[in-house]
Structure 1
Amino acid sequence: MLSKLKFLLKYTHQYRWWYTGGIIFLILTVWTSITIPGFIQKTIDLIAAGRVGNESEFHKNVLIIVGLAVGLILVRTLSRILIFFPARLIERQLKGEMFQKLASFGKDYYDKNSTGNIISRVNNDINGVRMITGFGILQIGNILLSLSLTPYMMWKLSPMLTLYCIIPMVVVFFIVRYGMKVMVKNTHARMDTLQMLSGKIISFLSGNSVIKSYNIYEHAENKVETDNISYYEASLKISWIRSFVIPLLGNLGQILKIIIFFVGGMYVINGKFTIGELTEYIAYAALLAHPIMGLGWVLTIFQQGMVGISSIQTIMDRKGTDDDRKALPESKKKELFKEGIRVENLNYTYHNGDKPVLKDISFSIKPGQIVGITGKVGSGKTTLIQCLNGYLRPGAGQIFYGDIDADSIRSEDIRSVVNTVSQEVFLFSDSIENNIGLTSDETIDEKRFDDVIYKSAFADELLRFPKKGQTMVGEKGIMLSGGQKQRISLARALYTQGELLILDDVFSAVDTDTERFLIKQIVENYAVKSMVVISNRVSVLEKTDFTIVLEDGKMAAIGNHEELLKYSDFYRDIAKLQQEGETKKERQ
């Protein structure tokens, strides 16, 4: 609980002057509320005393009541603005910080946590924090002030009647406290179920085409239905508790009125109270009932919010991949690839694996070189380039940028000089132009945009779109083919000038003619300074300075095209197969 309170204090302290102003106006709100019943009492007693000689006093009291009522509207509105507004600012700040934190995590985190689970935390849990720092603080202040000033005014009128009113309040408080304890337990269960449900829904929606292809609608529906029922049952248990606790709090005001009418009525009959004083006491009881009713909502908000904070803290307290690494000075960052990359005895095992995926890999990439990587499926090609671009971290003493150990460099600094076009292309639901210029903070340079569109073999197809570069690609680029998405991704990498461009099997999604054009524009014409190309196409690999052949995570061979034809069985086999395929096409 202490850590959660510190978490809340960290954010609320930034807006302490907003909250201070809000509390001041809240004090004025409560003071005005408890002042009005006194004038109501005087006015009613004046009515009871008759018209003669009381008209001016009566008019004066009515004007004061109207003035206080108008003032009450003003101060109450200001108290809510000054408290609710920082709550929204905290929500915005938390979402920004959580996004930054999530972006700093490595592959191991996302292997264990689904997208739906993360989205549920960002939306539902942060919303709980907003409710605590807004409505929760307002209601706490309102309850504390009302439960201190209002009973004091009631006590001044009649100590005994006030004691009668306190008894049902204490009984209700203990019943509500027990109910909230049970509700917290069920809220934890509901939150866990909601995260699982969100994960399944997002997974099934993303894989909708697979579900349709294999006609497994019933399987998907049953999976969602199971979690949906669990969520429903947990929500129903919470509703059962609320259906008992909330009405109990809501009817507390009616219980107090019954007590006041019975005991206070006897006081009026016996001459201990005037009609005006009884009315004043009822007005105070009404003021007291409202914060007590709000107590139920506050307890609900706080117990849900505290559960949400626990969930948020699991993310915020987790160390990011680069948290212990210092950012390079701008001068060093620009010269990071000046001497190239050196790989020495690289070994890598995935966090959930039991054996190395890469074993004893050693080579160097010099500025200006084009390096090829080839091998069978599962030989470790993608793992190797992900170690080079900082997405995977193999450990100290294995990869060096010049004389700097890559293990000490932040991923952001590595990727400032290394651009990667991966197998899994992702396009944002935006225009083609914005997808290509995504990494640039400046406005799109039309000349540069046209140049990278041409070099990525997308110029002719772009002309076919009615809106050209402003064409929306849809969610994850659904409006485009696999080859089109690949080339837009390639154009994005070319638009962002880096020192080293890594192409992970980019040519596999294009036809032969497009492949030749891309090879000429990117490889032969040196569209970038240095390049690493993963491919099994010999037409690409023969253009490299040297190619690494991987087998079972080990370097089976390294050399240029002619050398590999002599010493690598795998390279010789794929070269022979591709040559036979081309010969067959020419005959046809």
Structure 2
Amino acid sequence: MQLDAPQSKAHLIWHYFWQNRLSYSLAILFILLVNWLQVEIPLMVKTAIDLLMANVADNQDALMSSVWMIIGASLVLIVIRTLSRMFGLNPGRFVEAQLKNDLFAKLNRLTDSFHSANNSGKLISIINNDISGIRLFFGIGFMQLFNIIFALSFTPFYMWRISPSLTVYSFLPIIFAFAIYRIGFVKMRKLWTDRMHSLQGLSEQLVHFLSGMDVIKAEHMGPWVQNEIAQANQELLDITVKIQRIQVFIMPVLDYANQMMKILILGLGAVMVLNAELTVGEITAFLSYSVMLAVPFGGLGRILSVIQMGMVSIESVMTILNSKIDPTNLKRLSEADSNAIQRSTLKVNNLSYRYPNSESDEPTLKNISFELPQGKKLGILGSVGSGKTTLVNCLNHLYDLEPGMLIYGEHDITDWSRHDWHKQVRTITQDPYLFSATLNENVKFGSEHNANAPTLSVEEAIAAAQLSSDVERFAEQGNTMVGEKGIMLSGGQKQRVSIARALYTPADILILDNVLSAVDYDTERAIMSELSSKLVDRSLVVVSHRVSALQEMDEILVLKEGEIIARGTHSELLKTSSYYQQTWELQQNDQEASA
């Protein structure tokens, strides 16, 4: 069962606890048995010692029986302790895996506004560092918490049964230590929160710098980057050192108090044995219980640190899980409905858009209208800042639009989930993302989950993208690893791989957002010719600032400052639009100069 939006930390904790309820229930049962056997064994030892202090010859059978009971109980204790750890620690790993799945599922459904406000570095830190804290919380934290609860319940009770007065005296150092421990506990919580934010900040910086490594090298910014990372790292180190100081000097105070307890027991207990108030066996059992308390008291500081870290991590994770999802993104069209609307006409009606945080009152797009029926090839021409990318993002339903602005067939796109709309439209951007896999795998990426069956083989798609000659020169050809983000390929090769990917499993509407900017004019013409022949029954939108890429389009829209200032075919615009004609002539001169 997936967790979408926990209302509180308690809700999240209960959700994953309930998912692993069987394992936790068995763990609690075995932890209970472990602690019961631990306090019973000293009583068996007490009985054996008292028998030794009496007449051994008369009590030999009873003594041997006690010894065998101690051995048997110890062996059973080993088995039960092993089972308690198995059932207590495994849920932590299960929760870690399930929580990662829940986070990825939620991140996949959140809109661009969320990802703009929370950069990749922060999200990576949450998924890696914070989930590790939650794993410890649900694993060792849970197991040791119940272990300490049972130990601090059974052991003092059995000590009280032996000597109430000695129990009261021996616990005086513990009461004093708890007062000091509370001070450290409060400081630790704030420091864990600071450490989490520092880790997220460092992760954000690393992602930014790694993404811009080429610029850093070209501009000789290495020393500045090193200084920035060193400062962030030093801040993290300072916080971590403060945490370590508290863990070393304040948190072990309970362990120190336990040592004082033993001294009191030895001193007062010896007096009580001399006064015949306690037997040697009883004082031995009492000392055994004080030794048993050393484990929960010594582990209490560490476990509470794990719990604190887990609670802080849960707060961080909830910033993702509690983020609101657009209700329309939760809708899903049935397969029959999805198939019925294929090959429809896209209508754009008076599309206007203004960025929410824009300082200008002027919209970026102003009253854009056009139709894109099945099989039509539409070109969009515009210079930098004309609104081309904003229009593409609107066509992809990445931004929130007013109802009626985008109509596909008879359906308003704003009523659809982005998941359903992206089955119908595919966009290739000028900065394509390639995965660290083979070239062939990058071409086929996503095809197994695509609603459209492949129409070409991988080799045919590569050939149509004018990439065959490049692939033949690779040592492993189609099985060549392209590296992270396609680092082994040139900019033009990466763009052509993304075109091959789109041709392998095309959608009803294919949008090319300035993807031919990194290829030469001859390759551009060849690719456009292949696209026209391979996408006869599909709609094509080509966005470019190069007129040569749009010559064969059925209609060309000319954008300037967010408005359509002209429309028509290439030949028509050369006659009717001075802007188009000037752009064409300038680019023709550049092309001739390059030749």
TM-score category (smaller protein): over 0.9
Shift of 1:320: 2.5
Secondary structure of 1:509's match? coil
Which digits, 9 at most, give the CA deviation of each residue in 1:257-310, with x for residues without a partner?
111111111111112222221111111112222112222122211222111111
Between the two proteins, the alignment pairs up a number of residues equal to 586
Choose from 305, 316, 323 the match for 2:321.
316
Which digits, 9 at most, give the CA deviation of each residue in 1:145-187, with x for residues without a partner?
1111111111100000111122222222222122111111122
What is the correspondence of 1:234-383 to structure 2 with a 5 Å cutoff?
A: 234-321=239-326, 325-355=330-360, 356-383=363-390
Q: Partner amino acid for 2:431?
A: E
2:397 equivalent in structure 1: 390
1:484 equivalent in structure 2: 493
Shift of 1:524: 4.0
Structure 1 contact 108–351 (Cα < 8 Å) conserved: no
Rounded Cα–Cα distance in structure 1 between residues aligned with 2:527 and 2:57: 103
Closer/same/farther in 2, CA of residues 207 and 361 from structure 1, 3 Å limit: same
Rounded Cα–Cα distance in structure 2 between residues aligned with 1:321 and 1:435: 30
Secondary structure of 2:20's match? helix
Q: Partner amino acid for 1:248?
A: V
Range moving further from structure 2, 225-234 or 196-205: 225-234
Paired-residue identity, %: 39
1:4 equivalent in structure 2: 9
1:15 equivalent in structure 2: 20
Structure 1 contact 375–570 (Cα < 8 Å) conserved: no
Range moving further from structure 2, 289-298 or 55-64: 55-64
Rounded Cα–Cα distance in structure 1 between residues aligned with 2:48 and 2:328: 68
Shift of 1:418: 0.7
Choose from 400, 404, 408 the match for 2:411.
404
Q: Given the two structures, how large is their TM-score scaled by the length of structure 1?
A: 0.95
Rounded Cα–Cα distance in structure 2 between residues aligned with 1:442 and 1:406: 22
Rounded Cα–Cα distance in structure 2 between residues aligned with 1:264 and 1:218: 67
Rounded Cα–Cα distance in structure 1 between residues aligned with 2:95 and 2:339: 36
2:530 is equivalent to residue 521 of structure 1:
yes
2:158 is equivalent to residue 153 of structure 1:
yes
Which digits, 9 at most, give the CA deviation of each residue in 1:191-235, with x for residues without a partner?
112111111112112211111111111211222222222222222
1:99 equivalent in structure 2: 104
Secondary structure of 1:195's match? helix
Shift of 1:504: 0.8
Structure 1 contact 104–322 (Cα < 8 Å) conserved: no
Which digits, 9 at most, give the CA deviation of each residue in 1:42-88, with x for residues without a partner?
22223333542344333332222222112111111111111221221
Range moving further from structure 2, 488-497 or 331-340: 331-340
Q: Partner amino acid for 2:542?
A: V
Q: Partner amino acid for 2:139?
A: G
1:435 equivalent in structure 2: 442
For structure 2, which runs of at least 5 residues remain unmatched after alignment? Answer: 1-5
Rounded Cα–Cα distance in structure 2 between residues aligned with 1:438 and 1:528: 23
For structure 1, which runs of at least 5 residues remain unmatched after alignment? Answer: none
Shift of 1:138: 0.9
Which digits, 9 at most, give the CA deviation of each residue in 1:536-577, with x for residues without a partner?
333321211101111011111111112211222221112212
2:587 equivalent in structure 1: 578
Closer/same/farther in 2, CA of residues 323 and 260 from structure 1, 3 Å limit: farther
1:512 equivalent in structure 2: 521
2:68 is equivalent to residue 63 of structure 1:
yes
2:545 is equivalent to residue 533 of structure 1:
no
Closer/same/farther in 2, CA of residues 135 and 357 from structure 1, 3 Å limit: same
2:576 is equivalent to residue 567 of structure 1:
yes
Rounded Cα–Cα distance in structure 1 between residues aligned with 2:520 and 2:340: 37
Structure 2 contact 386–559 (Cα < 8 Å) conserved: yes
Closer/same/farther in 2, CA of residues 581 and 178 from structure 1, 3 Å limit: closer
Structure 2 contact 329–418 (Cα < 8 Å) conserved: no
1:546 equivalent in structure 2: 555
Shift of 1:27: 0.9
Secondary structure of 2:171's match? helix
Rounded Cα–Cα distance in structure 1 between residues aligned with 2:185 and 2:387: 54
Which digits, 9 at most, give the CA deviation of each residue in 1:99-139, with x for residues without a partner?
12122222222222222111111112222222221112112
Range moving further from structure 2, 103-112 or 378-387: 103-112
Please list every run of at least 4 consecutive aligned residues from structure 1 whose deviation after the TM superposition is greater than 6 angstroms: 442-447
Rounded Cα–Cα distance in structure 2 between residues aligned with 1:392 and 1:528: 28
Closer/same/farther in 2, CA of residues 200 and 582 from structure 1, 3 Å limit: closer
1:81 equivalent in structure 2: 86
1:53 equivalent in structure 2: 58
Which digits, 9 at most, give the CA deviation of each residue in 1:412-459, with x for residues without a partner?
111111111111111111111221111122899897111111111112
Q: Given the two structures, how large is their TM-score scaled by the length of structure 2?
A: 0.94
Closer/same/farther in 2, CA of residues 275 and 242 from structure 1, 3 Å limit: same
Structure 1 contact 522–528 (Cα < 8 Å) conserved: no
Rounded Cα–Cα distance in structure 1 between residues aligned with 2:202 and 2:142: 31
Structure 1 contact 249–292 (Cα < 8 Å) conserved: yes
Rounded Cα–Cα distance in structure 1 between residues aligned with 2:476 and 2:573: 47
1:220 equivalent in structure 2: 225
Rounded Cα–Cα distance in structure 2 between residues aligned with 1:54 and 1:528: 100
Rounded Cα–Cα distance in structure 2 between residues aligned with 1:577 and 1:521: 26
Q: Partner amino acid for 1:365?
A: L
Secondary structure of 1:151's match? helix
Secondary structure of 1:466's match? coil
Choose from 410, 417, 421 the match for 2:428.
421
Rounded Cα–Cα distance in structure 1 between residues aligned with 2:582 and 2:109: 42
Closer/same/farther in 2, CA of residues 580 and 447 from structure 1, 3 Å limit: closer
Rounded Cα–Cα distance in structure 1 between residues aligned with 2:385 and 2:7: 49
CA RMSD of aligned residues (A): 2.1
